Amino acid sequence: MDIQKLESLLKSVQSRKMSVEDAIFQLKALPFKDLGFARVDHHRSLRKGFPEVVWGEGKTSAQILSIMKQLRSRGENILITRLEERKAKAIQKTFPKSRYYPRSKVLTHLTHPLKSGGKGVILVITAGTSDIPVAEEAALTAQFMGNRVETLYDVGVAGIHRLLSERKKLEKARILIVVAGMEGALPSVVGGLVDRPVIAVPTSIGYGTSFGGIAALLAMLNSCATGVAVVNIDNGFGAGYMASLVNRM
């Protein structure tokens, strides 16, 4: 259901071709076509302008397939995150053209070409190689949302010259996603080098007192650099989505 349909419905109300009750009924019924276990929320497409994204964790292959079929029947592009490889393989039997990225556990299925939506480049940076899975989730999300994405991996602060030697790449980006575990210092340094918004993503990489990403999260929340905002630990998707919203502006 797109905005045109909504407008025509409302005009039918205005012109009394449709009663208010019927209008309310249709508005309520349409978007929540109940699948028994999950409401696929077509309103979100109206509100955010992006297709629905499916969170794969904790859902069975059968549940995901059911959602995907409904979305496909509406001609939507589909992005599934946190999907275990085992489930991806089961899904690809029904959706053979879907593509699975095992490192970031993302699956995409396109029914029509992605539209370009972002105005500039989103740069995804990681401190270490272990942070790449989260970064890839962010990058794939941003690409799926219609953005050009570049990456710059393994430029952590203990070898600051590695980052500084890529300054052109930093300055070219319109918005930056900085992914780091352990001490989580990279967003502060990057935020001090650029005049663009930085989305910081703490990762659960580390051991001992990294406490599954809390050390990195705290460092990012306490950044002495300005222009840094933070998402949940390992939330590559959230960072990619946020950056996409900003890059459309």
Residues 118-157 that bind a copy of itself (CB under 8 A): 119, 127-130, 132, 153-157
**Residue 64 binds a copy of itself, judged by CB under 8 A:** no
Q: Which is nearer to a copy of itself, 146 or 192 (CB)?
A: 192
- Report the residue number, 89 or 167, with the smaller CB distance to a copy of itself: 167
Can you tell me the distance from the alpha carbon of 180 to that of 221, in angstroms, rounded to the nearest whole number?
13
Helix (H) or strand (E) holding 54: strand 53-55
Contacts of 51 (CB under 8 A, 6+ apart): 45, 71, 76, 77, 78, 79
- Cβ neighbours, 10 Å, residue 55: 13
- Do the beta carbons of residue 194 and residue 170 sit within 8 Å? yes
Among 12, 44, 65, 111, binds a copy of itself (CB under 8 A): 44
**CA torsion sign, 152 to 245 to 185 to 209?**
negative
C-alpha to C-alpha distance for 111 and 97, rounded to whole angstroms: 9
The least CB distance from residue 225 to a copy of itself, in Å, is 4
**Minimum distance from residue 110 beta carbon to a copy of itself (Å):** 20
Nearer to a copy of itself, 36 or 96 (CB): 36
Kindly tell me which of 81 and 109 has the beta carbon lying closer to a copy of itself. 81
- The CA distance from 67 to 42, in Å, is 12
Residues 216-235 as x/- pattern, contact with a copy of itself by CB under 8 A: xxxxxxxxxxxxxxxxxxxx
Near a copy of itself by CB under 8 A, which window of 1-9, 35-43, 92-100, 104-112? 35-43
Restricted to residues 95-114, the positions that interact with a copy of itself (CB under 8 A) are none
Report the site for a copy of itself in 158-217 (rule: CB under 8 A): 158-162, 164-165, 174-175, 182-185, 188-189, 191-197, 199, 202, 204-217
Among 7, 22, 41, 84, binds a copy of itself (CB under 8 A): 41
Which residues lie below 8 Å from residue 234, measured CB to CB, with a gap of 6+? 134, 201, 202, 203, 204, 213
User: Binding-site residue total for a copy of itself (CB under 8 A)?
Assistant: 91
DSSP state of 234: T
Binder among 16, 28, 93, 97 for a copy of itself (CB under 8 A): 28
The smaller minimum CB distance to a copy of itself, of residues 109 and 174, is found at: 174
The DSSP call for residue 1 is -
- The smaller minimum CB distance to a copy of itself, of residues 97 and 150, is found at 150
Instruction: Kindly report each contact of residues 27-34 with a partner whose C-beta sits within 8 Å and lies 24 or more positions away, as own/partner.
Output: 30/1, 31/1, 33/70
